Amino acid sequence: MLIRRFMAAALMWGCVTAQADEVCATDATGQRLCLDQPAERIAALSPGATELVWASGAGDKVVAVVAFSDYPPEAKEVKSVGSHTRMDLEVLVSLKPDLVIGWVTGNPPEQLETIRELGIPVFSIEPRSFDDVSHTIRQLAALAGTEAHGNKVAHHFRRGIAELEATYRGAEPVPVFYQVWEEPLMTVNDEHLIGKVITLCGGVNVFGELDRLVPRISDEAVLAADPEAILAGGMGEENRHWLTHWEQYNELTATRRDNLFFVPPSLIQRPTPRMLEGSRLFCEKLDEARARRTEVLGE
């Protein structure tokens, strides 16, 4: 009964009477979405989606976000409709979005489908490469009618990544373990965007060939792989306690050489333009590991 009321409400405010040029884009699931006119009321259902909408130049059109949407600071003032895994659809509908930005592997498919059934357009994103990040910004800008701004941001991001690619092409390889979570202990494979940052910086992901995008591992697996550098984010921008766990293992090359590096998670774990800043920091950490090789020749 509640869903029927939502459907009726959606149909009432979802009808567009103004005539304007249609705007279209194909999302990460291969679905082509066309709007009669650029979106004016956008709901972003992941922290990464929120950042990407702002990057596209449409931040002032965002009317709904989810928990942990903390960048840019203005996003914290926008109404939250729950978490990315469980949205309050009644609150979402009451905000009358004319475009919802979904997260393919993060939002429950059944909730995204319900939103579509309510007559609200859903555009699903899942950036898996640097090109995907810039392309997604351009797509969101097209749907919001902010192409000039979005295209500029996308170009700046891709140019910065290209500069890093040129700088670290041929760099001495550094075996790397990136910790994405603590309990259970989790990492990323080479197909993950963070895995591509490792490769970009001349690192070799010691778990890169595992099948799962975000595989679970064990301390014993890390000890066996013996990475030269361990990088982690932690549960906050200033919290590096995940790295202290590895200090107990003096047999690890990364521990013995003091190559336990903290990278703020929001700079590396969200597929947004800030990954450029995170990638630069990541590359600097691997440069530190390379520099320490000459300091430990006698070990």
Task: State the pLDDT confidence band at 26, using cuts at 50, 70 and 90.
Answer: very high
pTM: 0.87
Region 258-271 average pLDDT: 93
Question: Is the Cα dihedral 72, 76, 82, 83 positive or negative?
Answer: positive
Position 8 pLDDT exceeds 50: no
- Of 5-14, 179-188, 269-278, 290-299, which range is least confident? 5-14
Considering the domain boundaries, does residue 283 fall inside one?
yes
Decide if 133 contacts 153 (C-beta within 8 A).
no
Considering the domain boundaries, does residue 160 fall inside one?
no
Considering the domain boundaries, does residue 162 fall inside one?
no
**Diameter over CA atoms, the chain:** 76
Q: Name the phi and psi angles at 33, rounded to 5.
A: -110, 130
* Domain termination site, one of 155, 178, 207: 155
CATH number of domain containing 283: 3.40.50.1980
Task: Report the alpha-carbon distance of residue 43 to residue 65 in Å, rounded.
Answer: 6
Decide if 208 contacts 195 (C-beta within 8 A).
yes
Task: Report the alpha-carbon distance of residue 193 to residue 158 in Å, rounded.
Answer: 14
205-237 per-residue burial string, b: 16 or more CB within 10 A, e: under 16: bbbbebeeeebebeeebbeebebbbbbbbbeee
* Domain termination site, one of 155, 179, 200: 155
Position 226 pLDDT exceeds 80: yes
Do residue 213 and residue 94 come from a single domain? no
Considering the domain boundaries, does residue 10 fall inside one?
yes
Residue 46 token pair: 């992941």
Question: Which has the closest alpha carbon to 269: 161, 194, 178?
Answer: 194
- Of 50-54, 240-244, 252-256, 279-283, which range is least confident? 240-244
- Cβ-based neighbours of 19, under 8 Å, separated by 6 or more: none
Position 14 pLDDT exceeds 70: no
* Domain termination site, one of 129, 155, 181: 155
Position 51 pLDDT exceeds 50: yes
State the pLDDT at residue 4. Answer: 44
Considering the domain boundaries, does residue 183 fall inside one?
yes
Q: Is 126 helix (H, G, I), strand (E, B) or coil?
A: coil
Domain that holds residue 32: 2-155
Task: State the pLDDT confidence band at 295, using cuts at 50, 70 and 90.
Answer: confident
Residue 91 token pair: 């609150």
Task: Report the alpha-carbon distance of residue 219 to residue 223 in Å, rounded.
Answer: 6
Name residue 144's amino acid.
A
State the pLDDT at residue 5. Answer: 45
Region 83-91 average pLDDT: 95
Residues of the chain with pLDDT > 90, as a percent, come to 86
Region 79-86 average pLDDT: 95
State the pLDDT at residue 228. Answer: 98
Considering the domain boundaries, does residue 163 fall inside one?
no
CB-count exposure of residue 275 (10 Å: 0-12, 13-18, 19+)? buried
Number of domains the chain contains: 2
Region 183-209 average pLDDT: 97
Considering the domain boundaries, does residue 11 fall inside one?
yes
Task: State the pLDDT confidence band at 236, using cuts at 50, 70 and 90.
Answer: low
Do residue 27 and residue 101 come from a single domain? yes
Using the structure block, give the residue that is written with the tokens 């709901």: 43
Do residue 183 and residue 90 come from a single domain? no
Residues of the chain with pLDDT > 70, as a percent, come to 90
Position 3 pLDDT exceeds 60: no
Name residue 233's amino acid.
G
Task: State the pLDDT confidence band at 53, using cuts at 50, 70 and 90.
Answer: very high
Cα separation values, 84 from 19, 64, 118, 226, Å: 34, 12, 19, 35
State the pLDDT at residue 10. Answer: 44
128-180 pLDDT, tens digit each: 999 999 999 999 999 999 999 999 999 999 999 999 999 999 999 999 999 99
The dihedral over CA atoms of 264, 129, 112, 266, expressed in degrees to the nearest 10, equals 10
Do residue 113 and residue 192 come from a single domain? no
Position 120 pLDDT exceeds 90: yes
Residue 196 token pair: 């591509």
Cα separation values, 64 from 46, 58, 92, 115, Å: 10, 13, 7, 14
Using the structure block, give the residue that is written with the tokens 């550094």: 174
Do residue 20 and residue 118 come from a single domain? yes
Do residue 263 and residue 176 come from a single domain? yes
Considering the domain boundaries, does residue 79 fall inside one?
yes
Residue 266 token pair: 């929001």
Do residue 131 and residue 222 come from a single domain? no
Give the residues across from 73 on adjacent strands: none
Do residue 53 and residue 185 come from a single domain? no
State the pLDDT at residue 20. Answer: 53
State the pLDDT at residue 87. Answer: 93
State the pLDDT at residue 235. Answer: 64
Task: Report the alpha-carbon distance of residue 53 to residue 51 in Å, rounded.
Answer: 6
Do residue 262 and residue 136 come from a single domain? no
